[in-house]
Amino acid sequence: MPIFFNTETNEFHLQSKNVSYIFSVLSNNQLGHLYYGKRIRHRNSFSHLARRQARGYTPAVYEGDHEFSLDLIMQEFPSYGTTDYREPVFQILQENGSRITNFEYKTHRIYQGKPKLDGLPATYVESDEEATTVEVDLEDEVIQAKITLLYTIYEDLDVITRSAKFSNLGKDTLQLTRALSASVDLRDSNFEMMQLSGAWIRERHLKVRKLERGLQGISSTRGASSSQHNPFLALKRPETTEHSGEVYGFSLVYSGNFLAQIEVDHYDVSRVTMGINPFDFNWKLESGESFQTPEVLMVYSTDGLNGMSTTFHTLFRKRLVRGEWRDKVRPVLINNWEATYFDFNEGKIIQIAEESKKLGVELFVLDDGWFGKRDDDTTSLGDWFSDKRKLPNGVEGLAKKIAQLGLQFGLWFEPEMVSKESELYKTHPDWIIQVPDRRISHGRNQYVLDFSKQEVVNHIYDKMATILKNGPISYVKWDMNRNMTEIGSLHFPADRQMEVGHRYILGVYNLYERLTRDFPHVLFESCAGGGNRFDPGMLYYAPQAWTSDNSDAIERLKIQYGTSLIYPLSTMGAHVSAVPNHQVGRITDIQTRANVAFFGVYGYELDVTQLSNQEKEVMKEQIEFYKNHRNILMFGTFYRLQNPFEGDGNFTCWMVVSEDKKEAIVGYYRVLARPNPGYRHVLLKGLDPDTEYTIEGHSETYYGDELLNVGLLLDKEYSGAERSENRLKGDFKSRIYKISSLI
């Protein structure tokens, strides 16, 4: 069993192939933390790892024992107010006004397998032998409440998952004012914190900062995980690189307001906490009720950032994403949005679909504008019925015509939103997130439906299910184009208004769960104005996400590079769009646009009827290349080789390697041309050092050890003297290198 319990010393040791995590029951019956890091051997006692020493001006728990102060002890699930002054994981307001608690260890259960979390997305197992779980019960006898801490360790993946369940066993009402999911105290602060931050159309840029004493962290208060900060952080040693060194990664399986925080105390202990953002949160816990927190995923690696990423990629692909599409390659799609925006009719759509079919496209996606009277973004959200002016045969009739062409058909929805100019709003103005007697802000002329109310969720389910039943629809793009403001509900009492943000996300999960259950053949892609809600919680229901509304190839280098720190290529929607690019106005050649988009779930966002014959031929070749290699591009092992966030950012390089190491594809990108440049090479990763490889377009062969240690000599750049067309000449250029074993 990968979880040991030392009965004499009350110590828990979670152990996988490469990782150990150890905590114990302290002398006050609370839980203390001892170690998290590289695997160590199990022994009958780890008490020698505890640090105890009396310190001046430090309050102690027990009279006469000056060493036992929670201000000095590494803890497992800390509270505030009984000698620990650091920010706690939880806080409970009681009817007498007290916030002081004393949750003591009562019992535990160790078993193989992993339980589901009620109403929440979480990682899973397909057989109980994959993982082992320990549930630890802590009880406070004064307030008659219980906290159940849930730990699961995946033996082969070096992943630990954590969450907590709060239960009110007494008669008095309790108020959870803070209910994070996990806390880890690390022994020192010699780390750099890495986060993925940005904004709309520049999501998940990699940011690095040195830890300092005090608080540092990221969060969202937008009602979504947000494009400003992803619910992920990593702590790496200063000397850690992409491929060597120690790193801890933390990710929250949640799509709403979150907090990911590190507090470095006066003795340089680093406390990592993560969970639902306590700002603007309160949960009323009546007698007999429970509250389950979202799941935190913890990954430790000594193989650098790429080692951490590989673990997260495998976990997300195999034990977070579910359903028919988890292990299937995705169809090459074309989306009409940038081709037509709202201005289309059935004839125009059929024309684009017919031409796309000739070029090898497999899936046509009809975007915004097919419903109600939707001619612009001011009307009709919530009215999920066909606009017969544009589609005289309805969306169902169009779907059948698309199917007759030999294409799959996909459809855009924005189920969480409503326009004031809509039948739904006129019938149910009380169905939006709002506060009485206050002005309601808008975004994109739309308002957020109150998904904390089950009746609203049921209504939207019925509308979407009717459309999905009546037409041959195999794909849904689920959009969400504004964040919450004036958060409140007309359907909950005053003392539950601070629950609305979390209840809303539970409503979104409920709708997703019902639709994915009832329409298992449909491929769902989550979208939130691009990557505004690209998080593990969404991937549980939708196996891919629209990475960013910014489809410019050069901007996508940073976006996709940063996203890959935790998310696999099979989750990243990546398309070739028209030029000049609609987000930044840049013109890049169609080959570079494709060379970036290949490393994701591939598609197009343009009007193929406006392409030249030469561009169409190139597009056919691109689609054929992707189809021939999409299995490795989606499910191979991904390696980041050159970081666009370092130096001047002029070069990016990455590669993907098949599981058997017989194939690899390298993508190399140069932003701006430079006069008379030197030679460039890059050290490859993941290949078999003893295998002889060919590189497409090269007459020589190379052994793996040469490519790993000497490197791949990249295509010669234009020096200003040659006239060869084979040189990398001009701005925004790229190359794809196809590597294959001789055997």
Active site residues: 479, 549
Alpha-carbon gap, residue 527 to 481, rounded angstroms: 8
CB 54 within 8 A of CB 40: no
Task: Determine phi and psi for 457, rounding to 5 degrees.
Answer: -60, -45
CB 365 within 8 A of CB 353: no
| Amino acid at residue number 215 | L
Distance, C-alpha 171 to centroid of its chain:
39
Alpha-carbon gap, residue 386 to 393, rounded angstroms: 9
Q: Characterize the bridge pairing of strands 523-526 and 544-546.
A: parallel
The secondary structure element, H or E, covering residue 185 is: strand 174-186
- ∠346-351-352 over CA atoms, to 5°? 100
Residue 647 has which token pair? 């130096």
By the 10 Å C-beta count (0-12 exposed, 13-18 middle, 19+ buried), 561 is classed as: buried
| Amino acid at residue number 69 | S
Exposure string of 3-40, with b = 16+ CB inside 10 Å and e = fewer, is bbebeeebbbbbbbebbbbbbbbbebebbbbbbbbeee
Residue 239 has which token pair? 């000397």
Tell me which DSSP letter residue 446 carries: B
| Amino acid at residue number 103 | F
Alpha-carbon gap, residue 622 to 361, rounded angstroms: 11
Cβ contacts of 603 within 8 Å, gap of 6 or more: 332, 333, 334, 335, 363, 365, 573, 574, 575, 576, 597
Alpha-carbon gap, residue 361 to 603, rounded angstroms: 8
- ∠90-182-112 over CA atoms, to 5°? 125
- The SS3 assignment for 303 reads strand
Alpha-carbon gap, residue 733 to 735, rounded angstroms: 7
For residue 219, the cross-strand partners are: 259
| Amino acid at residue number 231 | P
